[in-house]
Amino acid sequence: MKPRLIGHRAKVEEMMFPKSKQLMTALVAGAALALAGCGGGGSQAAAPLDLTKEPAYSGKLSILTKFGGDPLEPYFKDLAAEYQKMHPDVSFELIQETDQSIKDKTKTLTASQALPDIFFTWAGNWANNFIDGGLAADLTPAIAPGTEWGAKFGESALKAFEKDGKYFAVPLYNNGKFMGYNQRIFKELGITPPKTFEELISSCSVLKSAGYEPIAFGNKDGWPALHYLQQLFAYEVPTDVLNADFHPATAELNDAGYLKAMKQFSTLVNECTGSGKDSNGVLYTTAQQALAEGKAGMYYQEILEFDTTASKDSSLKKDGLGIFRLPAAAGAKGDTEAIEASPEGYIINAKSKNAALAADFMKFATSTQNAAKLSAPPYGQPSSVKGAVSEQNSTAPVVEGIKQVNEASDAIVWLDSVTVPTVADAWLAGGEALTAGGQSPEQVLASVRSASDAAK
């Protein structure tokens, strides 16, 4: 069976909000004001949701998921069916989208003021737009660390959707970025998982000489390059500087670590990838398939991809999927224990008449039993609920990946969602230019700095 191909980023032009910061703000704020039935300006953050009373178990719940397509689609269908058995007067409308289509669907629903009761979100700027627009219910009284519900989650997962000390989303599953490798190929060639970036580059020549594509890489969607860059930035740029540079109001973007990281990325593209400077014309799914079929030694992937890349009928399943962090270069001046990782979650619409019922359903969805089910094959989506990922319900790479994410010194959110869209767009263009060799790191950084200055 061909594995389901997963990715979570796309060109910023395809994101839920337009490129223009002004248009983006108008879209979200306008939708929020219309739904609230009031006027005003600035942030429209919602009041805390009162969940002290038991909800009326009746009415229809609408849910926008990112679980469209096999093997994920049955998960929410089964949850809804089980919930209906307990509460027969509750019905559901499931809007199941794929990783790519959910961007356009969310844009359409936001613009038409028709967001459902519960809807998917990424962390970072993506979620913040809903929070600032008053479309995300404030769940702090129910889900903050220390509450009965909040205590079920890892604190880092909750913090991913925290703003100004308030919590606005339910973290459904964790994620992180790792280099996946074919264990059989590595063993045959005498390669061990590299500990430094320099060792990674050296291993590429061994793989290439043996007739394998060292690192499968497809950047047609733009985000794969950003994943490399963000992890390398975390290694090369001091954490406090990096975090300040994500926000235009405090950004300077002049640390030498950015140039060093971009040069490392260019080296990897030129010396380790089969398509090299032509990688912008290759789909990430093509690269993913190369590892699955035993044609490539490595592929940089998310935890959410592990069980589909190494599906039961794939060559990789037989050969064995191993993982290691993209290694830092010797002498890196950032946080070499940080990892690019971010949970993905669900927002409860602050304007929903069924908000209390929606929260009750999400408590059901994050019960220990349902969290364990989500973490297990065929879903393989490692739940953010503590203890849900185990050797009993998850494959060894997923267990190891989540363990490393939980033990990391810091979780660095994806580059194209942690900052504002116009800056993310500049990084996207820069990543493509570095891949093709069309611009130098200095030119890319200048372009990003210009976009950040314009967004202040």
In a domain, 369, yes or no: yes
Whether residue 309 is found in the same domain as residue 359: no
Q: CA–CA distance from 238 to each of 7, 51, 372 (Å)? A: 28, 41, 37
Distance CA 267, CA 202 (A): 11
- Per-residue pLDDT at 408: 86
Domain interval for residue 57: 12-175+343-388
Whether residue 300 is found in the same domain as residue 161: no
- Per-residue pLDDT at 378: 85
Ranges in the chain, pLDDT < 50? 1-42
Whether residue 159 is found in the same domain as residue 278: no
Whether residue 75 is found in the same domain as residue 137: yes
Whether residue 219 is found in the same domain as residue 145: no
Q: What would the two tokens of residue 127 be?
A: 């979620």
Q: Do the strands 118-122 and 162-163 form a parallel or antiparallel pair, or are they unpaired?
A: unpaired
Distance CA 300, CA 324 (A): 10
Q: Report helix, strand or coil for 56.
A: coil
- Per-residue pLDDT at 47: 65
- Per-residue pLDDT at 17: 37
Q: What are phi and psi of 123, to 5 degrees?
A: -80, 170
Distance CA 400, CA 179 (A): 13
Beta-carbon contacts of 144 under 8 Å, excluding residues fewer than 6 positions away, are: 150, 158, 166, 167
Whether residue 196 is found in the same domain as residue 50: no
Distance CA 299, CA 215 (A): 5
- Per-residue pLDDT at 261: 98
| Domains identified in the chain, total number | 2
Q: What would the two tokens of residue 54 be?
A: 């038991």
158 with 166: CB under 8 angstroms?
no
Whether residue 228 is found in the same domain as residue 368: no
Whether residue 81 is found in the same domain as residue 68: yes
Whether residue 151 is found in the same domain as residue 221: no
Whether residue 249 is found in the same domain as residue 359: no
Whether residue 323 is found in the same domain as residue 355: no
Distance CA 31, CA 36 (A): 8
Q: What would the two tokens of residue 132 be?
A: 């600032």
Q: What is the CATH number of the domain that holds 188?
A: 3.40.190.10
Q: What would the two tokens of residue 374 be?
A: 């989500």
In a domain, 405, yes or no: no
